[in-house]
């Protein structure tokens, strides 16, 4: 009988629990947070995935950049407007007349976490390591660099093979992180197990698949502004588990709130939602000519991947016109994201009207294009999508929308890693995939749209586009670059190798007790000036 | 007895070798190129080739297998492709965590399962039996992932008396450890408790109907002595078998529980390893699991002979 009573009590408690969780207390404002913060305390952060190696030269995962933000500063950084600003450098880069020498002045008196001093030789050591270390993930980012020279103790000169405007943006990411030469020598290939750089925090410990801990670094040049004693990053892959941990107070910050949890988070008075527009995009890549594999010369597709969409640009345009981006955003993402028609974020200083131009949803025009093309209706096509619930919802929305115009989309849910493998080899017709985005638009465009680009799985090739991309790389004149990227996007969109769909938002859940957390468009979490609010 | 033990040891060794082959080939049958998983978003052909070479993935499968077995025999399970930390060391951190969780879940399961099983068999056709059967049915039919979310909602969010996640070792802080283990232990142990309850009940019913029990009662033994001293003792052989078999299942069955409660143990390593195509990690984990199964089965076989001497005698003439 006791067991029965216990079960009944449990059931009643469960019902009470659910009703109290669904309360609709208004959320505090997400505006500027100017509350005074107290010193001390440990911030616990739930990350969605395990970062890979904590070595700036070898690291590849996006999630790892959040850890590096705490422990490894860069020559340059971005501010909230995504403008590039000096971090370890003392001033913006000076570019020589021929565009092939970039001189960087360094801040002086800065100390690494191990107490050694940062100077030009240390910068050269790090940049050379990024360029030449076996297995470096930075090699291609720095492929334009011919060599690095120490001019004096506080100045380095970077020699380029050809003018390369995105260099400052590259140095505002992992390729610009400066490591302690003493630690590099002492630790050799074990540097990732105890990375030593300059940052508000220094590496403390790591338990694989569980946690990474960083502690306040007294050697940091701005240590007075650092409030927290410690930041612990916990790895929690499941989104609802992450959310439960934020609600229970087991973590104070949650990286990547699921779009479906946003309403519940906003309704909780103890939590705040921080958002920023992503630098990346999501879209549908059309296999036009990837017969020989990515990075190889385009060819003619054979069955079963050949089809009307690959063969005729009009049909690709009809497919795009039949998509209703606003409806996708509303239905699939509860209006959290923004429709997108091109690879450049509207927040970028290199964005333009041409870069953001977007055709309206027009089923009649789509039908008319299909009839002009003279294809038999329905046009059958397969689309590789992810295996998670959100990917399926997106796929089904696309499938339903284009059906109206006369397309019959077969959804092909494929495990992510397998889908990359398959689409690299050209074994697909359509692929729903996106890109996390880079500060400089070159990172969102060149590899995807240039002939034989390393991410050009469409097999797209247009010599005009190639030439415009090269010109945009070579000039440092912002308005000229803006104009060139506008032209690139106009031409590429007309060719329809990638049908851009939407731009996600970085969604961060934060306990109301915490202030000073910064989230910019790059999606990296910045805790350098974060802390517990006074009185919390 | 000696021959019986020897024979079981040889059988276990053969199973172990077969397991290594299956594990090795099984991991490679996973869809997707591990090199792409390692490369993240980047897709530079030169970088991909470099990663392939660095992890020996450019070698033939036979060469990879021989190297893997050679190193495994020396206790070297390789280096995690994701974190580049030694796999053996990572498993070494995770295994005690899972063992503590499994042991705690087992204690919970045995306490609940045995007590409800005994009650259900002794108090037949009463509300107690009905309640015990209901608990068993719920334990068997409620999915772990749902039960886990519910106890978190209840005891960590609505009435925050216990932590929603994490782990503290019993040996560093017993009180905090129990607080962290209570919810995952209850969730993990619930299914097993139901199995133990059903087995205990049926074994007890059979024992209680036996002639020797009638004789014991006729000799004037009290109810408790009959139930615990005679019926339960004879029923324990079946229950021990189930517990032994389930302990292996428990170790691999922590996968869901550890994900829900973010317990940095074996199950979480497995899921994260598969998601990131961390070949060395998956191989190491499955190898350790297989070894655990083999060892536990061996242990249970040997325990039989201690609990029931007839098996020892039978084993000796095999």
* Structural domains of chain A, ranges and CATH numbers in brackets: 3-197+506-533 (3.90.76.10), 281-503 (3.10.105.10)
Q: How much of chain B exceeds pLDDT 70, in percent?
A: 92
Write down the mean pLDDT value for chain B.
82
Q: Using only C-alpha atoms, what is the Rg of chain B? A: 24
B-chain residues within 8 Å CB-CB of A234? Answer: 165-166, 262
B157 at A interface, C-beta within 8 A: yes
Has residue A160 got a pLDDT over 50?
Answer: yes
Has residue A44 got a pLDDT over 90?
Answer: yes
**Which tops the pLDDT comparison, A137 or A211?**
A211
The pLDDT value recorded for residue B248 is 65
Residue of A nearest to B127 (CA): A1
User: Can you give the length of chain B in residues?
Assistant: 318
The ipTM assigned to this model is: 0.75
Query: Taking CB atoms and an 8 Å limit, are A17 and B128 in contact across chains?
Result: no
Query: Taking CB atoms and an 8 Å limit, are A7 and B135 in contact across chains?
Result: yes
In angstroms, the separation between the Cα of residue A169 and the nearest Cα of chain B is 17
Has residue B210 got a pLDDT over 90?
Answer: no
Helical axes B309-316 vs B2-28, angle rounded to 10°: 90
B32 at A interface, C-beta within 8 A: yes
| Burial track B204-228 (b if 16+ CB lie within 10 A, e otherwise) | bbebbeeeebeebeeeeeeeeebbe
| Burial track A116-133 (b if 16+ CB lie within 10 A, e otherwise) | eebbbebbbbbbebbbeb
A-chain residues within 8 Å CB-CB of B268? Answer: 209-210
B94-277+295-307 sits in which CATH class?
mainly alpha
Residue of A nearest to B84 (CA): A53
In angstroms, the separation between the Cα of residue A250 and the nearest Cα of chain B is 7
Region A317-331: mean pLDDT is 95
User: What does the pLDDT look like over A299-322, one tens digit per residue?
Assistant: 999 889 999 999 999 999 999 999
| A441 Ramachandran zone, left/alpha/beta (phi>0; psi -120 to 50) | alpha
In the numeric block, which tokens belong to residue B39?
């490369």
Region A51-56: mean pLDDT is 90
Query: Taking CB atoms and an 8 Å limit, are B156 and A21 in contact across chains?
Result: no
B166 at A interface, C-beta within 8 A: yes
B-chain residues within 8 Å CB-CB of A10? Answer: 154
By Cβ distance, the residue of A13, A52, A245 closest to B83 is A52
Q: Is the separation of the CB atoms in A50 and B82 below 8 Å?
A: yes
Has residue A94 got a pLDDT over 50?
Answer: yes
Has residue B220 got a pLDDT over 80?
Answer: no
Q: Which of A494, A430, A505 is nearest to A465 (CA)?
A: A494
**Which tops the pLDDT comparison, A209 or A533?**
A533
Query: Taking CB atoms and an 8 Å limit, are B156 and A250 in contact across chains?
Result: yes
B-chain residues within 8 Å CB-CB of A245? Answer: 164-165, 262
CA B32/CA A133 separation, integer angstroms: 27
Query: Taking CB atoms and an 8 Å limit, are B83 and A436 in contact across chains?
Result: no
In the numeric block, which tokens belong to residue B80?
């995690």
The pLDDT value recorded for residue B224 is 75
B-chain residues within 8 Å CB-CB of A247? Answer: 157
- Return the H-helix or E-strand segment holding A284: strand A281-286
The pLDDT value recorded for residue B251 is 67
In the numeric block, which tokens belong to residue A126?
């790090």
Residue of B nearest to A3 (CA): B131
DSSP string, B198-242: HHHHHHHHHHHTSHHHHHHHHTT--HHIIIIIIIHHHHHHHHHHH
CA A259/CA A506 separation, integer angstroms: 10
Has residue A1 got a pLDDT over 50?
Answer: no
The pLDDT value recorded for residue B253 is 67
Q: Which long-range contacts (CB under 8 A, 24 or more apart) does A530-534 make?
A: A530/A37, A530/A43, A530/A227, A530/A228, A531/A37, A531/A38, A531/A39, A531/A41, A531/A227, A531/A228, A532/A37, A532/A38, A532/A40, A532/A41, A532/A227, A532/A228, A533/A35, A533/A36, A533/A37, A533/A38, A534/A35, A534/A36, A534/A37, A534/A38
Half-sphere exposure of B61 (CA within 13 A, CB side): 9
Alpha helices in chain B (DSSP H): 2-28, 34-39, 45-54, 61-73, 87-122, 127-141, 144-152, 174-208, 211-218, 223-224, 232-261, 266-275, 279-307, 309-316
The three-class DSSP label of residue B167 is: coil
Q: Confidence band (pLDDT; 50, 70, 90) for B47?
A: confident
The pLDDT value recorded for residue B3 is 77
Instruction: Tell how far CA B249 is from the center of its chain.
Output: 4
Pairing of strands A253-255, A42-47: parallel
Query: Taking CB atoms and an 8 Å limit, are B271 and A2 in contact across chains?
Result: no
Residue of B nearest to A1 (CA): B128
Instruction: Report the range of poorest mean pLDDT among A76-80, A483-487, B300-304, B311-315.
Output: B311-315
Query: Taking CB atoms and an 8 Å limit, are A14 and B138 in contact across chains?
Result: no
Q: Is the separation of the CB atoms in B86 and A208 below 8 Å?
A: no
Residue of B nearest to A234 (CA): B262
B83 at A interface, C-beta within 8 A: yes
Q: How far apart are the first and last CA of chain A?
A: 45
B 183-202 near A (Cβ less than 8 A): none
Q: How much of chain A exceeds pLDDT 90, in percent?
A: 71
Residue of B nearest to A137 (CA): B47
Q: Which of A7, A42, A210 to mutate to test the interface with B (most CBs of B within 10 A)?
A: A210
A-chain residues within 8 Å CB-CB of B163? Answer: 248, 250
Query: Taking CB atoms and an 8 Å limit, are A209 and B94 in contact across chains?
Result: yes
A281-286 sheet: strands from edge to edge? A338-339, A498-503, A281-286, A430-435, A379-385, A407-413
B 257-276 near A (Cβ less than 8 A): 259-260, 262, 264, 268-269, 271-273, 275-276
Has residue A495 got a pLDDT over 50?
Answer: yes
Has residue A485 got a pLDDT over 90?
Answer: yes
Q: Is the separation of the CB atoms in A429 and A307 below 8 Å?
A: yes
In the numeric block, which tokens belong to residue A152?
């004096």
Count of beta carbons in the 10 Å neighbourhood of residue A279: 28
By Cβ distance, the residue of A1, A210, A414 closest to B128 is A1
pTM of the shown model: 0.81
**Which tops the pLDDT comparison, B25 or B54?**
B25
The pLDDT value recorded for residue B141 is 86
In the numeric block, which tokens belong to residue A260?
């479906």
In the numeric block, which tokens belong to residue A361?
């949803």
Region B26-38: mean pLDDT is 75
CA B132/CA A340 separation, integer angstroms: 58
By Cβ distance, the residue of A18, A237, A435 closest to B272 is A237
The pLDDT value recorded for residue B310 is 67
Residue of B nearest to A194 (CA): B85
Q: Confidence band (pLDDT; 50, 70, 90) for A10?
A: very low
Half-sphere exposure of A270 (CA within 13 A, CB side): 14
Q: How far apart are the first and last CA of chain B?
A: 10
DSSP string, A91-137: SPPEE-TTS-EEEEEB-SS-B-TTSPBP-HHHHHHHHHHHHHSTT-S
Count of beta carbons in the 10 Å neighbourhood of residue A140: 17
By Cβ distance, the residue of A1, A60, A134 closest to B39 is A60
By Cβ distance, the residue of A137, A247, A415 closest to B42 is A137
Domain boundaries, chain B: 94-277+295-307
Query: Taking CB atoms and an 8 Å limit, are B165 and A236 in contact across chains?
Result: yes
User: What does the pLDDT look like over A386-405, one tens digit per residue?
Assistant: 888 889 999 999 999 999 99
Q: Confidence band (pLDDT; 50, 70, 90) for A355?
A: very high
**Which tops the pLDDT comparison, B27 or A108?**
A108
Region B230-248: mean pLDDT is 77
Region B168-187: mean pLDDT is 91
DSSP string, A336-364: -SEE-SSSS-TTSTT--HHHH--PPP-HH
């Amino acid at each position: 009988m006791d067991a029965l009573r216990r079960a009944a009590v449990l059931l009643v408690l469960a019902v009470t629990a659910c009703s109290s969780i669904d309360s609709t207390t208004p959320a505090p404002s997400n505006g500027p947070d100017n509350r005074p913060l107290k010193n001390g305390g440990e911030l616990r952060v739930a990350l969605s995935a395990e970062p890979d190696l904590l070595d700036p030269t070898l690291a590849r995962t996006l999630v790892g950049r959040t850890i590096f933000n705490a422990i490894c500063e860069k020559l340059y950084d971005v501010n909230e407007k995504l403008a590039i600003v000096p971090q370890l450098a003392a001033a913006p880069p000076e570019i020589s007349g021929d565009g092939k020498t970039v001189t960087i002045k360094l801040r002086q008196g800065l100390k690494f976490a191990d107490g050694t001093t940062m100077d030009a030789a240390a910068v050269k050591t790090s940049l050379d390591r990024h360029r030449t270390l076996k297995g470096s993930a930075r090699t291609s980012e720095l492929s334009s660099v011919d060599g690095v020279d120490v001019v004096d103790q506080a100045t380095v000169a970077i020699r380029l093979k050809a003018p390369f405007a995105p260099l400052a943006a590259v140095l505002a990411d992992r390729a610009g992180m400066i490591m302690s030469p003493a630690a590099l020598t002492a630790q050799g290939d074990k540097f990732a197990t105890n990375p030593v750089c300059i940052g508000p925090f220094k590496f403390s410990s790591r338990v694989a698949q569980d946690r990474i801990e960083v502690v306040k670094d007294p050697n940091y040049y701005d240590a007075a502004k650092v409030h927290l004693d410690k930041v612990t990053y916990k790895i929690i892959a499941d989104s609802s588990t992450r959310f439960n941990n934020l609600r229970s107070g087991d973590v104070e910050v949650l990286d990547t709130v699921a779009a479906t949890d946003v309403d519940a988070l906003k309704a909780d008075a103890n939590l705040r939602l921080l958002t920023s527009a992503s630098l990346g995009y999501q879209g549908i890549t059309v296999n036009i000519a990837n017969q020989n594999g990515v990075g190889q010369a385009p060819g003619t597709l054979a069955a079963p991947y050949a089809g009307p969409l690959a063969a005729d640009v009009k049909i690709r345009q009809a497919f795009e016109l039949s998509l209703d981006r606003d409806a996708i955003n509303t239905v699939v993402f509860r209006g959290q994201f923004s429709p997108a028609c091109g690879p450049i974020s509207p927040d970028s200083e290199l964005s333009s009207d041409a870069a953001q131009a977007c055709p309206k949803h027009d089923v009649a025009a789509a039908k008319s294009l299909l009839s002009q093309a003279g294809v038999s209706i329905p046009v059958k096509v397969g689309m590789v999508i992810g295996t998670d619930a959100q990917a399926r919802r997106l796929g089904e929305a696309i499938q339903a929308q284009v059906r109206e115009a006369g397309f019959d989309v077969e959804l092909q849910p494929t495990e992510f890693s397998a889908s990359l493998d398959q689409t690299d080899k050209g074994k697909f017709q359509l692929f729903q995939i996106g890109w996390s985005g880079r500060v400089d638009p070159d990172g969102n465009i060149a590899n995807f749209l240039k002939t034989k680009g390393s991410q050009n799985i469409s097999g797209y090739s247009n010599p005009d586009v190639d030439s415009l991309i090269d010109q945009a790389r070579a000039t440092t004149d912002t308005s000229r670059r803006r104009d060139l990227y506008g032209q690139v996007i106009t031409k590429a969109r007309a060719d329809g190798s990638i049908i851009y769909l939407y731009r996600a938002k970085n969604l961060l859940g934060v306990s109301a007790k915490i202030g000073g957390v910064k989230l910019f468009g790059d999606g990296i979490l910045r805790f350098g000036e974060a802390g517990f609010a006074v009185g919390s | 007895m000696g021959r019986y033990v020897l024979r079981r040891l040889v059988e276990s060794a053969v199973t172990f070798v077969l397991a290594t082959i299956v594990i090795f080939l099984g991991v490679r049958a996973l869809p997707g190129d591990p090199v792409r998983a390692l490369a993240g978003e980047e897709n530079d052909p030169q970088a991909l080739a470099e990663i392939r070479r660095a992890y020996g993935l450019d070698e033939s499968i036979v060469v990879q297998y021989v190297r893997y077995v050679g190193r495994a025999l020396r206790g070297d399970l390789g280096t995690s492709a994701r974190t580049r930390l030694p796999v053996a060391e990572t498993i070494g951190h995770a295994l005690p965590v899972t063992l503590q969780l499994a042991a705690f879940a087992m204690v919970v399961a045995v306490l609940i399962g045995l007590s409800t099983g005994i009650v259900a068999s002794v108090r037949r056709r009463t509300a107690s039996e009905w309640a015990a059967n209901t608990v068993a049915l719920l334990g068997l039919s409620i999915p772990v992932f749902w039960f886990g979310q519910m106890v978190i909602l209840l005891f960590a969010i609505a009435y925050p008396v216990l932590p929603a996640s994490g782990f503290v070792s019993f040996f560093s802080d017993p009180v905090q450890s129990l607080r962290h283990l209570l919810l995952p232990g209850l969730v993990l142990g619930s299914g097993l408790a139901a199995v133990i309850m059903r087995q205990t009940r049926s074994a007890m019913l059979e024992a209680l109907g036996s002639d020797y029990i009638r004789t014991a009662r006729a000799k004037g033994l009290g109810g408790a002595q009959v139930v615990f001293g005679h019926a339960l003792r004879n029923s324990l052989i079946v229950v021990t078998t189930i517990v032994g078999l389930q302990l292996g299942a428990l170790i691999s069955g922590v996968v869901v529980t550890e994900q829900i409660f973010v317990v940095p143990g074996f199950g979480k390593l497995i899921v994260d390893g598969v998601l990131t195509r961390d070949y060395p990690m998956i191989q190491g984990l499955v190898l350790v699991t297989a070894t655990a199964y083999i060892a536990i089965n061996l242990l249970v076989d040997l325990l039989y002979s201690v609990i029931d001497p007839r098996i020892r005698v039978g084993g000796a003439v095999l």
